[in-house]
Amino acid sequence: MTTPTIGKMSPSQVKEVTTQFTYGTWRRQKGWSPLQVVDAEGCYFTDASGKKYLDFSAQLMCVNLGHKNRAVIEAIQQQAEKLAFIGPGFATEVRAELARLLTEVLPKGVNKYFFTTSGTEANEAAFKIARMYTGKSKIISRYRSYHGSTMGSIAATGDPRRWAMEPSGKMAGVIFAPEVNCYKCPLGHTYPGCGIACAEYVEHMIANESDVAAVLVEPIVGTNGVLIPPKEYMPRLRQICDARGVLLIADEVMSGWCRTGKWFAMDHWNVVPDILTTAKGITNAAIPLGLCATNEKIAAHFEDHFFAHGHTYEAHPLTLAPAIAAINEMKRLNLAERAAQMGAYLGEKLTALKPRHRSIGEVRGLGLFWAVELVKNQEKKIPFNTGEDKLAGTPLVVDRVAAKMMGEGVYIQAWMSHFVIAPPLIISKEEIDRGVAALDQTLALADAEADA
């Protein structure tokens, strides 16, 4: 087939060339039939036929300010004119200004920055820094987690996306702790009688493993189901890490940037990690940027020790300018407060669905970060599908629900047996009503397959 140039392809040619020559991620390639998107603005995106979709998950939980934020666009345009690229060994105004702003919004004390171009790379940097600083090698992660796709970050990923790389295709030295999941505790406990056994077990692991450099957590687990720890968990984990000389790494790639009703999820417990990684919302996802932020003790270590890490695109000026604009926009819009308020509204609406649908196991969330977990059996909390189903290419109930919602003009992220509902933080009540109504209608499909 001859390929016409940009602007001249028909929708079917766009789809054909895309699927023939490029990879679709985390899937079998056969049967991939991506929708062509031509525009996106505010809480909506538009396909090639002109149909508009409410973006109820902010794409990959990353477009926190909504699509086409003007300030972010202009920052990219102006920086491209001014200084699109200079090597990371130079100082730039844009780098200095972003660093200054980050000291204002990140948890206090995490104030030395390494800029990457993704969340994955931010975590890779964190692992190397933790190992170089402590002189130890093991990383404790948790089963229900995602930390990225490279050989280090996939090794630290607890969910089934890691399995293809087992055992030799991944960084050695990551071990897994049980996740916090008060809906379905992996240790079979019930909060609060559990005494936060999932945190205590981490101490047991550190005590019996030796050579542990760091404990890595998504403070509020994202893709794997918006799992929110009870209030005692994070302070206890901090105590355990301090007592044992182990670093605490908070992966706030998804939970950061006002998503949960605070600048960062760790702010809910006033716990400061030693290393904080983030990406996604930092530029409103308009340009790829990640951040690995460390505390002053770690920073001091590298005054006299070789910092054995770097990228050509580290601190790339074009990636930093939109981050400044995005942070200023978040401040201007009081986005954390707004997410808390609108999140309470979204939570009320989603929670009201539970008694109406026997396929809903639990609704949970914080800020504008919610999960609706589907079950085949409410009493036994049996999910419709599992990681095995996902990898085997079995059609998932959640995917069928999500596809039907797309038909209704609402986009929602589905994973295994739950949805992650995390719209742009500028969403209105009317838009929330519309998204929840579409879910309400579509869940009949799952109800029909749930045990009576």
Ligand X SMILES: Cc1ncc(COP(=O)(O)O)c(C=O)c1O
Which of 42, 119 has the CB closer to ligand X?
A: 119
Among 63, 253, 287, 438, interactor with ligand X by CB under 6 A: 253
Which of 216, 446 has the CB closer to ligand X?
A: 216
User: Taking CB under 6 A as the rule, does residue 251 contact ligand X?
Assistant: yes
Alpha-carbon distance of 271 to 212, in angstroms, equals: 20
Among 254, 320, 339, 410, interactor with ligand X by CB under 6 A: 254
User: Taking CB under 6 A as the rule, does residue 373 contact ligand X?
Assistant: no
Name every residue whose Cβ is closer than 8 Å to that of residue 91 and which is 6 or more positions away in sequence: none
Block residue for tokens 């009870």: 230
Among 120, 294, 319, 417, interactor with ligand X by CB under 6 A: 120
Contact region with ligand X (CB under 6 A), list: 35-43, 114-122, 256-264, 429-437: 114-122
CB of 72 to ligand X, least distance (A): 17
Q: In 3D, which of 60, 56, 57 has the Cα closest to residue 434?
A: 56
CB of 218 to ligand X, least distance (A): 5
CB of 57 to ligand X, least distance (A): 11
Indicate the residue whose CB is closest to ligand X.
119
User: Taking CB under 6 A as the rule, does residue 124 contact ligand X?
Assistant: no
Token code pair at residue 374? 């589907």
Which of 222, 317 has the CB closer to ligand X?
A: 222
DSSP string, 208-242: HH--EEEEEE-SSB-TTT-B---TTHHHHHHHHHH
H or E element that contains 383: strand 382-383
Among 141, 223, 359, 413, interactor with ligand X by CB under 6 A: 223
User: Taking CB under 6 A as the rule, does residue 146 contact ligand X?
Assistant: yes
Alpha-carbon distance of 154 to 173, in angstroms, equals: 12
Alpha-carbon distance of 291 to 106, in angstroms, equals: 11
Angle (deg, nearest 10), helices 335-351 and 317-332: 70
CB of 273 to ligand X, least distance (A): 13
Residues touching ligand X, count (CB under 6 A): 15
For residues 130 and 249, the answer to whether their CB atoms sit within 8 Å is yes
Which of 152, 222 has the CB closer to ligand X?
A: 222
User: Taking CB under 6 A as the rule, does residue 279 contact ligand X?
Assistant: yes
Contact region with ligand X (CB under 6 A), list: 48-56, 140-148, 163-171, 442-450: 140-148
DSSP string, 339-368: HHHHHHHHHHHHHTTGGG-TTEEEEEEETT
Which of 256, 357 has the CB closer to ligand X?
A: 256
The secondary structure of residue 286, as a DSSP letter, is: S
User: Taking CB under 6 A as the rule, does residue 203 contact ligand X?
Assistant: no
Taking CB atoms within 8 Å and a gap of at least 24, the contacts of 386-390 are 386/416, 386/417, 387/159, 387/160, 387/163, 387/416, 388/160, 389/416, 390/160, 390/416
Which of 23, 90 has the CB closer to ligand X?
A: 23
Binding site for ligand X (CB under 6 A): 60, 118-120, 123, 146-148, 218, 222-223, 251, 253-254, 279
